[in-house]
């Protein structure tokens, strides 16, 4: 049986730079996997390749055995991959709720406010999914607030809510804890654990090692575009190649 998500010798170059270099990995359904590596290691590029925001220069991406490389981000989202962005993609002048419907609409492929009854049913579903996503991240009370007016910490959850509104089977999170304080990071860890317990497959890019090592079942390490280690947190923390990759790098 093929893995839930697989990359096969996946590569992406920018000019002469191999941002992602021959990366093969397999993620099983229901896993919570950390993706770590020094700045510029290629983590975000790998996420972009999986979610269709960047086209591969070589190799393949397979979801449940089917190739998804070459599909649009929209099609990949509809197949069940939701993601967040390292640089938050929040529309500050829209309400919290409307920011989330952007995600839900992507899933339903239809605009809101239509006069046709069958479209009305869809728009009701979008509304319901958006509220459910906001409830899941604890932002229901802020639904009508302007996104610009909620705290940075809450905006990080809004970014997650938008991905959840697509009801993804696979959720990929790009540095969700960046900029959060210690208490907020602990709360986020609990939240990610709860998403995982509900059965979601999750890949987490994070620089906060304590967070990664405490919640992830497996950790994949990238350095200079290449996968240099893949294993249980204990093993990865003791790996000589990993330590070397981080040496002299100011995290
Ligand atoms: N669109 C692009 N055009 C040119 N170079 C790029 C582009 N995107 C990424 N790169 C380069 O590819 C390399 C990998 O970048 P990437 O953002 O994937 O790293 P990262 O592991 O996510 O780093 P960080 O931890 O800082 O977020 C870097 O050298 C980066 O400058
Ligand atoms: Mg990145």
Of 56-60, 103-107, 163-167, 203-207, the poorest mean pLDDT is in: 103-107
Examine the pLDDT at 251 and tell me if it is beyond 90: no
State residue 35's pLDDT score. 98
Closest ligand to C-alpha of residue 85 is 2
Examine the pLDDT at 218 and tell me if it is beyond 80: yes
Between the CA of 205 and the centroid of ligand 2 the distance, in Å, is 8
State residue 213's pLDDT score. 94
State residue 154's pLDDT score. 95
Helix-helix angle 152-164:182-197, to 10 degrees: 10
Examine the pLDDT at 216 and tell me if it is beyond 70: yes
Between the CA of 173 and the centroid of ligand 2 the distance, in Å, is 10
Confidence of residue 246 (pLDDT cuts 50, 70, 90): confident
38 close to 206: Cβ distance less than 8 angstroms: no
pLDDT digits (tens, 9 = 90+) for 157-171: 999 999 999 899 999
- Output the residue whose Cα is nearest ligand 1's atom 28: 40
Ligand 1 environment, Cβ below 6 A: 14, 17, 19, 37, 39-45, 86
Between the CA of 87 and the centroid of ligand 1 the distance, in Å, is 13
State residue 110's pLDDT score. 47
Sign of CA dihedral 89, 91, 96, 102: negative
pLDDT digits (tens, 9 = 90+) for 158-212: 999 999 998 999 999 999 999 999 999 999 999 999 999 999 999 999 999 999 9
Kindly state the average pLDDT of the residues 217-227.
97
> 35, 40, 49, 55: which to mutate for ligand 1, most atoms within 8 A of CB?
40
State residue 168's pLDDT score. 94
State residue 106's pLDDT score. 57
- What is the average pLDDT value for the chain, to the nearest integer? 91
Q: Hey, which CATH number is domain 1-80+205-251, 3.40.50.970, 3.40.50.620, 3.40.50.300, 3.40.50.150?
A: 3.40.50.300
Give SS3 for 7: strand
- Give the DSSP per-residue string, 15-46: TTEEEEEEEEEEE-TT-EEEEE-STTSSHHHH
State residue 41's pLDDT score. 97
Ligand 1 atom showing the smallest separation from residue 41 Cα:
21
Partnered with residue 220 across adjacent β-strands are: 35, 230
pLDDT digits (tens, 9 = 90+) for 11-48: 999 999 999 999 999 999 999 999 999 999 999 999 99
Between the CA of 116 and the centroid of ligand 2 the distance, in Å, is 42
Write b or e for each residue in 43-74: b if 16 or more Cβ atoms lie within 10 A of its Cβ, otherwise e: bbbbbbbbbbebebeebebbbbeeebbebeee
Give SS3 for 172: strand
State residue 115's pLDDT score. 53
pLDDT digits (tens, 9 = 90+) for 115-172: 555 566 667 778 889 999 999 999 999 999 999 999 999 999 999 999 999 899 999 9
Between the CA of 134 and the centroid of ligand 2 the distance, in Å, is 25
Confidence of residue 249 (pLDDT cuts 50, 70, 90): low
Q: What's the whole-model pTM score?
A: 0.92
């Amino acid at each position: 049986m093929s893995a839930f998500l697989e990359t096969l010798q996946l590569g992406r170059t920018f000019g002469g730079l191999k941002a992602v270099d021959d990366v093969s990995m397999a993620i099983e359904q229901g896993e919570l996997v950390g993706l770590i590596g020094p700045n510029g290691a290629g983590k975000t590029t790998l996420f972009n390749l999986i979610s269709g925001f960047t086209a591969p220069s070589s190799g393949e991406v397979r979801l449940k055995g089917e190739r998804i490389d070459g599909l649009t981000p929209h099609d990949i989202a509809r197949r069940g991959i939701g993601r967040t962005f390292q640089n938050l993609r929040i529309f500050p002048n829209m309400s919290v709720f409307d920011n989330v419907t952007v995600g839900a609409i992507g899933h339903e492929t239809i605009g809101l406010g239509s006069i046709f009854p069958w479209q009305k049913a869809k728009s009701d579903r979008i509304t319901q999914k958006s509220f459910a996503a906001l409830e899941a991240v604890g932002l229901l009370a802020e639904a009508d607030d302007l996104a610009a007016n909620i705290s940075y910490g809450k905006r990080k959850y809004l970014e997650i809510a938008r991905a959840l509104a697509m009801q993804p089977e696979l959720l990929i999170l790009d540095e969700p804890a960046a900029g959060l304080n210690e208490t907020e990071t602990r709360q986020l860890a609990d939240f990610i654990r709860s998403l995982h317990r509900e059965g979601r497959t999750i890949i987490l890019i994070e620089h906060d090692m304590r967070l990664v090592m405490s919640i992830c079942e497996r950790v994949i390490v990238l350095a200079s575009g290449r996968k240099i280690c893949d294993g249980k947190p204990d093993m990865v923390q003791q790996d000589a190649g990993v330590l070397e990759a981080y040496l002299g790098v100011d995290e």
